[in-house]
């Protein structure tokens, strides 16, 4: 990626999994990055702190501990840094946790995103990119999932908040001309990942000789997407803000575009993998068999995710393609090093 030195980016959720990797990639490409995060304890804060420690090695990285729902702090940050671009990755994650603690999602995913939109309105930016999720496809049956499909049937509050983010972004794109791009991520995995994700907890339990819980008796498919593919796609999209189409017509035009400067993309590996195959590859990379407990589907889960990434390929010439074998191998190597597993 060719850039002019000193382009300023605010990345929210910079201590998170995707935020950490994206911050590092942009710093390597001479961006000036201000990372913000509230370092909450949804999972081990030490992992978040260690990610930030890695980023602080770069002279053009600044970290601020800020909570998105604190409007005054967000406004102050934008006033100080005047970013060219904003990438909003901060969110309360997790489908199952949204059933236990719904208000955490209202605070972070709705109020927090509202504060980002308002800041982008009052301190105009060239492009706001924000994380959506494959979970917005909810109970959809037609696969692969296309950004041209209706997504009005979420099956978790987490998914509903992500759909709400897309609607909120569209409104601000229309009213204030803010170019916004929403990214529907599909099951992201890799080094420095999230401990609440299945691949991470499976690895921990297999190494420690504990049984793993296999939901829906293994009869599920996921479009597992390696972190480097996610980051490459975002880097290619940063300098490509969407343009308004004044002639847009929902009867004939793509629903992921608009009469406003607004766009939605899927970012997925576009190769669904059966859960049992995923576990088998993980066992092979760890070098140990897992003891399995087969249990029923959990509320809020879906049977299958499968990304149509034709728009991504058309607009930036990129299609995620890291194989599961390569990606899980790199994750297991990182895990063993990070946790000093012999």
Active-site residue set: 158
Is it true that the peptide bond before 188 is cis, omega within 30 degrees of 0? no
Alpha helices (H) in 12-112, listed in sequence order: 17-28, 45-55, 71-81, 97-100, 102-105
- 58: tokens are 């770069």
Asked whether the beta carbons of 123 and 82 are under 8 A apart, the reply is: yes
Asked whether the beta carbons of 244 and 261 are under 8 A apart, the reply is: yes
For 268, phi then psi, to 5°, come to -145, 165
Q: How far apart are CA 78 and CA 63, in angstroms?
A: 13
Q: How far apart are CA 193 and CA 20, in angstroms?
A: 10
Beta bridge partners of 3: none
State the DSSP code for 288.
S
- 295: tokens are 């249990």
């Amino acid at each position: 990626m060719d850039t002019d030195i000193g382009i300023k980016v605010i990345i929210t959720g910079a201590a998170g999994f995707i935020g950490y990797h994206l911050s590092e990639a942009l710093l390597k490409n001479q961006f000036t990055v201000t990372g913000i995060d509230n370092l909450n304890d949804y999972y081990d804060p030490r992992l978040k702190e260690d990610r930030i420690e890695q980023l602080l090695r770069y002279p053009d990285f600044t970290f601020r501990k800020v909570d998105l729902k604190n409007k005054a702090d967000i406004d102050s940050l934008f006033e100080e840094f005047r970013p060219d671009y904003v990438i909003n990755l901060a969110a309360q994650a997790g489908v199952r946790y949204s059933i236990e603690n719904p208000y955490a999602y209202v605070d972070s995913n709705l109020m927090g995103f509202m504060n980002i939109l308002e800041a982008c309105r009052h301190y105009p930016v060239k492009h706001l990119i924000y994380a959506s999720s494959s979970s917005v496809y909810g109970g959809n049956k037609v696969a692969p999932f296309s950004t041209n499909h209706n997504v009005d049937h979420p099956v978790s509050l987490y998914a509903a908040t992500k759909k709400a983010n897309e609607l909120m972004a569209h409104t601000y794109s229309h009213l204030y001309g803010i170019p916004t791009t929403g990214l529907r991520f599909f099951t992201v995995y890799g080094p420095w990942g999230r401990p609440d994700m299945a691949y991470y907890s499976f690895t921990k339990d297999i190494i420690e000789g504990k049984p793993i819980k296999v939901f829906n008796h293994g009869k599920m498919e996921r479009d597992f997407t390696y972190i480097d593919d996610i980051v490459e796609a975002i880097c290619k999209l940063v300098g490509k803000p969407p343009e308004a189409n004044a002639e847009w017509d929902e009867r004939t035009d793509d629903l992921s575009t608009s009469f406003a400067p607004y766009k939605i993309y899927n970012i997925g590996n576009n190769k669904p993998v059966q859960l049992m195959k995923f576990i088998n590859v993980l066992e092979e990379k760890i070098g140990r068999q897992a003891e399995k407990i087969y249990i029923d589907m959990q509320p809020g889960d879906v049977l299958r995710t499968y990304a149509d990434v034709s728009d991504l390929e058309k607009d930036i010439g990129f299609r995620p393609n890291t194989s599961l074998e390569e990606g899980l191998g790199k994750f297991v190597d990182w895990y063993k090093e990070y946790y000093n597993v012999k």
